[in-house]
Amino acid sequence: MELITVSTRAIEGQKPGTSGLRKKTKVFMGAHYLENFVAAIWAGIGGVAGKTLVVGGDGRYFNDRAVQVIIRMAAAEGAAKLIVGQNGLLSTPAASNLIRKRATNGGIILSASHNPGGPDEDFGIKFNMPNGGPAPEEVTNRIFQATKTLSEYRIAEGQDIDLSALGETTFGEMAVEIVDPVTDYAAMMEELFDFEAIGGLLAGGFRIAFDAMHAVTGLYAHEILENRLGAAPGSVLNGTPSPDFGGGHPDPNPIWAKPLVDLVMGPDAPDFAAASDGDGDRNMILGRGVYVTPSDSLAVLAANAPLVPMFREGLSGVARSMPTSGALDVVAKELGIPCFETPTGWKFFGNLLDAGLAQLCGEESAGTSGDHVREKDGLWAVLFWLNILAVSRMSVAEIMSAHWKKHGRNFYTRHDYEGVETEKAEALMESLRARLGTLPGKTHAGLTVAAADEFAYDDPVDGSKATAQGLRVAFEGGSRVVFRLSGTGTVGATLRVYLEAYEPDPAKTDGDPETALAAVIAAAEEIAGIKAHTGREGPDVRT
């Protein structure tokens, strides 16, 4: 092994967002780009000398080469050990579990989550802390500052590590342990859920379909759902990970997982269906003839938590991101437990989970998880649902109907305007921000504005403050609309518009959300002038 010091210069635009740094794959493949950012991570975390890290990713294009670069750079800086998923693969929740179980100094996860993969698509990298969760702003800010001043980085030259060979080897003085990406995660799931009950449900003819979307969760789903729980062979669809996710978009929603939605709405529908995303941290839940919104799913899990071994004693508290519907709040009030409202981004849940203030968290963007890891966990949510179905012996439709009759229904939808020119998207937000104080009392599409503000968050654990977290407009009667610019895309800006209306009357909880929210949708357009600012006649994606 030969150590090399490479001269470089700062590269603009390497600012990590809520989920690390995401750019087009070819950008990461450019000269020094990945190496610069990895060197900045080392600087941001105080170096890696003597430290142990977990490394893995979702298997998208360039994942394997990036792992080899990280190995070489860690060795050059004196890291003690890297724990790497076989073939460079680790789902995000599995990586979080490994970080926690092995008590490492953190880990690097290579993923752009639900974004498409391939040489012309997206790539991403982020650092997770020793608690298994995404780096907080304090750390990502240090990483970003380091990207601005880099003049060199150190890297070791040598033969590639065989990422397919399980076991421990060395790269120079550094140990490299290649581990099966599924084993520890699957063992944890067996501890958290009643596999005997779920297996009994499946043995009784209950049919499921899980769409892994050609992504990393296929490895986990084949082992857990088919091998350990006994789901019929073929229950896992698109279960072989592909560098370009089969040419698809690995986002588990009714648009990108339409074949699965068509299946459950068709004549030969399975009893239960679900999907997960590129790195395995998101989920979509469906039943025969039923699509469950992520917000409703979170509320149902909270209401039925004592049915699973993990939460047999009940929940100490719950948390949701601000744009997520208030369905969870209704359940929390019924249970007499706190419900925390945080900014978008899983890192904001970390302090609540570490402090024991919350045990179940979720986001409207299809992320749900508990206090077993510090990341979203798609397959965990699927097993949670299966456990509830096994114990209750109710269908998904029956569970939703009973839930709405007891708690009312938060009609909810999200409209995404993707790839909007950044200047136009920011102009819309600036215009609306400047008019927030003038909105209360005005009527739009028959709805009167009760309040309007920009969400800010004071962390109850460490006192940190997060500002500029979304523009909120609340109407009399409980409806609301939220406007945000998403940081998960790689080109232009994605304008997300979240629309919600609460219906407490059990007799009025059926129906299509887009129809129930027609007035809120019209009011959002009148207030923000989306068409005028973006030139779009309508959203690209409705979820």
DSSP letter string, 165-215: S-EEEEETTEEEEEE-TTHHHHHHHHHHS-HHHHHHHHHTT--EEEE-TTS
Q: How far, rounded to the nearest angstrom, does the alpha carbon of residue 329 sit from its chain's CA centroid?
A: 21
The radius of gyration of the chain from alpha carbons, rounded to an integer in Å, stands at: 23
pLDDT value at position 487?
Answer: 61
Output helix, strand, coil percentages for the chain, rounded to the nearest 5: 35, 25, 40
Instruction: Tell me the C-alpha distance between 5 and 54, whole Å.
Output: 24
Which domains are present in the chain?
2-180 (3.40.120.10), 185-407 (3.40.120.10), 409-542 (3.30.310.50)
Instruction: Give the type of residue at 14.
Output: Q
pLDDT value at position 18?
Answer: 77
CB 492 within 8 A of CB 425: yes
> What pTM, to 2 d.p., does this model score?
0.94
Instruction: Tell me the C-alpha distance between 386 and 440, whole Å.
Output: 44
How many Cβ atoms from other residues are within 10 Å of residue 8's Cβ? 16
State the maximum Cα–Cα separation within the chain, in Å, rounded to a whole number. Answer: 73
Active centre residues (catalytic) = 113
Tokens 């989306």 sit on residue? 530
Q: Which two tokens stand for residue 539?
A: 């959203």
Helix spans in 246-344 (H): 258-264, 294-303, 327-335
Instruction: Give the type of residue at 31.
Output: A
Instruction: Tell me the C-alpha distance between 240 and 221, whole Å.
Output: 10
Q: Which two tokens stand for residue 337?
A: 């437990």
Count the alpha carbons within 13 Å of 207 in the hemisphere toward its beta carbon.
8
C-alpha angle 36-41-42 in degrees, rounded to nearest 5: 100
How do beta strands 208-211 and 236-237 pair? parallel
Question: First CA to last CA across the chain, in angstroms?
Answer: 51
Per-residue pLDDT of the chain (543 residues; tens, 9 = 90+): 899 999 999 999 999 987 899 999 999 999 999 999 999 999 999 999 999 999 999 999 999 999 999 999 999 999 999 999 999 999 999 999 999 999 999 999 999 999 999 999 999 999 999 999 999 989 999 999 999 999 999 999 999 999 999 999 999 999 999 999 999 999 999 999 999 999 999 999 999 999 999 999 999 999 999 999 999 999 999 999 999 999 999 999 998 999 999 999 999 999 999 999 999 999 999 999 999 999 999 999 999 999 999 999 999 999 999 999 999 999 999 999 999 999 998 989 999 999 999 999 999 999 999 999 999 999 999 999 999 999 999 999 999 999 999 999 999 999 999 999 999 999 999 999 999 999 999 999 999 999 999 999 999 999 999 999 999 999 999 999 999 998 655 568 999 999 999 999 999 998 889 999 999 999 999 999 999 999 999 998 888
What is the dihedral angle through the alpha carbons of 421, 474, 469, 275, rounded to the nearest 10 degrees? -80
Contacts of 235 (CB under 8 A, 6+ apart): 207, 208, 209, 210, 225, 226
How many Cβ atoms from other residues are within 10 Å of residue 301's Cβ? 26
pLDDT value at position 491?
Answer: 67
Instruction: Tell me the C-alpha distance between 228 and 231, whole Å.
Output: 8
Collapsing DSSP to helix, strand or coil, 253 comes out as coil
